[in-house]
Amino acid sequence: MSHKHTLTKGRAVFLEYYSKLLPQFSVPELTAHLNTRNTPILLISKVFEAKLMKLWQENSLTWAPLRWFPFALQWPPEIPVGETLPGFTEGWIYPMNKSSLLPVLLVNPRIGENILDAAAAPGGKTLAIANQIDLNKTLLIANDSSFPRFKRLRTALKFFGYPDIPTWRFPAQTIVRNSEYTFDKILLDAPCSSEKHVFNSKKHLKIWSPNRIKKLSELQLSLIESLLPLLRSGGTLIYSTCALTPEENEGIVAKVLEKHPLEIALKNPPDGLPVSGSGLSGFGLTDSQSGQVLRINNNDFGFDPMFVAGLRKV
Ligand SMILES: C[S@@+](CC[C@H](N)C(=O)[O-])C[C@H]1O[C@@H](n2cnc3c(N)ncnc32)[C@H](O)[C@@H]1O
């Protein structure tokens, strides 16, 4: 047996694993995709929009809103990507990849709803939701179990103009015991393999092994199962990951549907999304179900990997 086949960890195993998983990409293509740094879009605070616009006008910066998402701008061409933008230090701007907005499009927050962001830190999706609702008439709660990340979440909320959004620091598995509320929408942007991050981190790539996928998928399923009792009838749990593996995406959704055949159904993504992509077949979802989830594998249009599914309580 060659040395290559005895490896269980590291870059070579990673690339072999993912090129089998996504045969449409050669190893060099996959490597290039994972290495590409997409230009972030800029989520801006609704609260400070007018002040930011004035500041950008004074600095002669192009104000180019995204057509498909409110309070989001394209990076201004006058400033090199990665440099500090006017308004960033104040906390009025939150740079993120476009893909992070896709789960929020499925959340589709509505005034008057109860909304839980169950794994919210460092907070980009919570901010995007908050911009779209009236916080006096809508309950939005942001939860994250990690203390350092929770602190970043609180800071982001405060400087973006939403210091009063309630925040919890529960393991999501225990919210059901601690919450007096039920919810119309629950976003679970789950801890996941995050291959793009791993691939660009020498430290993480060196210790990567397929076993990590198994552990994460067990955690993801337990998180969903413990959140479902908090969902109101007719409500939707939006499950998202930035993982490429079907075990963490289609496989999880299939297990939930199998476990709750009468209670949970897939909800179609909304029309008019800026990007399309359907689930991988052969991982538990039927062909028609695969068409009801959103999977982005590559970044041809500046989108990082993302998987999103809406699980509706019928
Ligand atoms: C993909 S990140 C969330 C990113 C976030 N939604 C955003 O848009 O900024 C996953 C988060 O899950 C949190 N997490 C991990 N295990 C958790 C658990 N058992 N309960 C709640 N949060 C958890 C991590 O601390 C991490 O912040």
Q: Is the CB of 189 under 6 A from ligand 1?
A: yes
Q: Is the CB of 285 under 6 A from ligand 1?
A: no
C-alpha to C-alpha distance for 38 and 257, rounded to whole angstroms: 34
**Predicted pLDDT at 6:** 53
Query: Domains in the chain, ordered, with CATH?
Result: 27-39+97-313 (3.40.50.150)
Choose one of 101, 127, 131, 146 to mutate for the ligand 1 pocket test, by most ligand atoms within 8 angstroms of C-beta. 146
Type of residue at 184: D
**Predicted pLDDT at 7:** 64
Q: Is the CB of 171 under 6 A from ligand 1?
A: yes
Is 242 noted as a catalytic residue in this protein? yes
Per-residue confidence in pLDDT tens, the chain, 314 aa: 444 445 677 888 898 899 998 888 888 999 998 999 999 999 999 999 999 999 999 999 999 999 999 999 999 999 999 999 999 999 999 999 999 999 999 999 999 999 999 999 999 999 999 999 999 999 999 999 999 999 999 999 999 999 999 999 999 999 999 999 999 999 999 999 999 999 999 899 888 888 999 999 999 999 999 999 999 999 999 999 999 999 999 999 999 999 999 999 999 999 999 999 999 988 999 999 999 999 999 877 899 999 999 999 99
CA 203 to centroid of ligand 1, rounded, Å: 21
CA 85 to centroid of ligand 1, rounded, Å: 27
Residues 6+ apart with CB under 8 A from 164: 135
CA distances to 53, 163, 258 from 44, rounded to whole Å, are 10, 15, 40
Q: Is the pTM of this model over 0.85?
A: yes
**Predicted pLDDT at 294:** 97
CA 188 to centroid of ligand 1, rounded, Å: 8
Q: Is the CB of 145 under 6 A from ligand 1?
A: yes
CA 242 to centroid of ligand 1, rounded, Å: 12
CA distances to 23, 35, 172 from 16, rounded to whole Å, are 10, 16, 34
HEC profile of 170-232: CCHHHHHHHCCCCEEEEEEECCCCCHHHHHCCHHHHHHCCCHHHHHHHHHHHHHHHHHHHHEE
Q: Is the CB of 95 under 6 A from ligand 1?
A: no
**Predicted pLDDT at 3:** 45
CA nearest ligand 1 atom 27, residue:
121
